[in-house]
Amino acid sequence: MRVGCTRIPVMNRLSPAQQAALQSTFGERLSLRAADRASHGRDESFYAPAEPDAVLFAESVEDVQALVAWCHAERVPLIPFGAGTSLEGHVLAVQGGISLDLMRLNRILRIDAEDLSCSVEPGVTREQLNAALRDQGLFFPIDPGANASLGGMAATRASGTNAVRYGTLRENVLGLHAVLPALGLIRAGSRAKKSSAGYDLARLLVGSEGTLGVITELTLKLHPLPEQVAAAAVQFPSVAAAVRTTIALVQSGVPIARCELLDVHAVRAVNAHDGLGLAEAPLLLLEFHGSASSVREQIETVQACAAEQGGLQFAWAETPEARSKLWRARHHAYWSALQSRPGCRCLTTDVCVPISRLAEAVETAVAAAEAAQQPHFIVGHVGDGNFHIGYLIDPARPEELARAEALAAQLVQLALALEGTCSGEHGVGLHKQGFLLQEAGAPAVAAMRAIKAALDPHGVMNPGKIFSRQG
């Protein structure tokens, strides 16, 4: 499956009659064009592209309902497609079928400022939503870096920076609508802040990676824009010192809004790419939200914690522009690091561990990469115990991929031994299926499969993802 840059050539597996039926139902919204199939057969993961047989550009919930029903009846795979920013191969049509592009379903349906909530279609991106909210003094905090679609973020249970304070998609979905193969359109949750009415179908769909149904509407929690925001870059003599500072902060209960680690390799990359001019040393990027006095208190605590760990210097981003520059650089870290080794590809881990074990996990990962002389960098949502070590690989040298795979697998083993998880936020997708089995255990994965079989009895929803073989 995992073959670097080699594309798997596939025939279109739809019969002429199936193609005709789809075209008759959807007209020009259905595309069989090579360019559309190619662009919907790849994401930002390391995987070889796998093209769908057709792409439906849905323009209504009725389009989604019609396609789901058709795929269910015809036993044709259906792969929901958002912004295509998955890092785990979620949108690759590994068994062919129809890619359901949801990006035209991009209306913000309502903003209920008084209730701190909104409803959106799945193709709305987080930046689009935040642009619409700004005038209302509100924001949607979940920020995985990429300008992902909210439907895709829900499907992978995304988080990113800010989750340390505001939670992940899981905590920020009040309700959703989804189309299931056997049961059609369902509503889950409500606009109330909490509910004990029946099984929590909303949180079952969140993180299901398109394997149970297609999310067609999300009702999300919003947050008031903080009265004051301050950001700082603090540098440390070692990654370990930065991590120990993070642990102390989290244990102190400081409601820090962002706490991101960049190791020296990532710092060099963002210096080169975004001209930040930082010292070449490990870095914590921090953001504080609250009232003026609360922000002041948080900063004092952070300064004390950092000083104890030999924090070298604080650089403040006072203005919104300076803050934006800092966070843009953080979000560019992945691509900046890729450019640091021209022509390379990146294999990224996503482990998340209890905060008390974070130093051990990071130090072990770094030592192993260095011992193997594997070029790498680290960025991490360390306030949550989640970090990514990216292994930079020359695709012309298969032994580098094998080495990186081995390092990544070792790190997952360590994270599981530390009672953490193989995936903090990217999802299982194609590559972590064995890790999931190991982490959750066979009976729990059997329970997931049983749920999958109950809601998608013909196995048409995004087959080949999460589970190594579909029911």
Nearer Cβ to its own copies (29/126): 126
DSSP state of 197: S
Cβ closest to its own copies, residue 7 vs residue 191: 191
**Minimum distance, C-beta of residue 5 to its own copies, in the bound complex (Å):** 26
Closest approach, Cβ 294 to its own copies, in A, equals 6
**Extended beta strands in 272-412, E state:** 283-290, 313-317, 345-348, 376-381, 386-393
CA 192: distance to chain centroid? 26
**Strands lying side by side in the sheet with 184-189:** 108-112, 117-120, 214-221, 173-180, 184-189
Nearer to its own copies, 339 or 468 (CB): 468
Token pair 């619409």 is found at: 132
Q: To the nearest whole angstrom, how small is the minimum distance from the Cβ of residue 169 to its own copies?
A: 9
Residue 281 forms beta bridges with which residues?
Answer: none
Q: How far is the CB of 351 from its own copies (least distance, A)?
A: 8
CB of 382 to its own copies, least distance (A): 11
Nearer to its own copies by C-beta: 211 or 340?
A: 211
Which of 17, 442 has the CB closer to its own copies?
442
Is 181 or 375 the residue whose CB approaches its own copies more closely? 181
Task: Report the C-alpha gap between 251 and 385 in whole angstroms.
Answer: 12
**Choice between 329 and 352, CB closer to its own copies:** 352
- State in angstroms the smallest separation of the CB of 132 from its own copies: 19
Question: Which of 51, 456 has the CB closer to its own copies?
Answer: 456
Closest CB 42 distance from its own copies, rounded Å: 21
Would you mind telling me the total number of residues written for the chain in this entry? Answer: 471
Whole-number minimum distance, CB 243 to its own copies, in Å? 13
Confirm if 105 and 59 have CB atoms less than 8 A apart.
yes
Look up residue 207 and give its two tokens: 């993180």
Comparison of 34 and 194: residue with beta carbon closer to its own copies: 194
Rounded to whole angstroms, how far apart are CA atoms 68 and 213?
8
Tell me if 108 sits within 8 A of 132, measured CB to CB: yes
* Closest CB to its own copies among residues 180, 460: 180
- Residue 266: CB atoms within 10 Å: 27
Q: Report the candidate in 54, 2, 7 with the shortest Cα–Cα distance to residue 28.
A: 54
For 96, how many CA atoms within 13 A lie in the half-sphere containing its CB? Answer: 12
CB of 213 to its own copies, least distance (A): 9
Minimum distance, C-beta of residue 443 to its own copies, in the bound complex (Å): 5
Burial of 79 (0-12, 13-18, 19+ CB in 10 A): buried
User: Which CB sits closer to its own copies, 311 or 429?
Assistant: 429
Residue for token pair 């439907």:
151
398-417 helix and 433-440 helix, angle to the nearest 10 degrees: 20
DSSP single-letter state for residue 467:
S
Could you identify the residue written with the tokens 């193997």? 372
Name the residue type at position 67: L
Q: Are the beta carbons of 127 and 141 closer than 8 angstroms?
A: no
Give the SS3 label for residue 376. Answer: strand
How far is residue 74 CA from its own chain's centroid? 31
CB of 209 to its own copies, least distance (A): 9
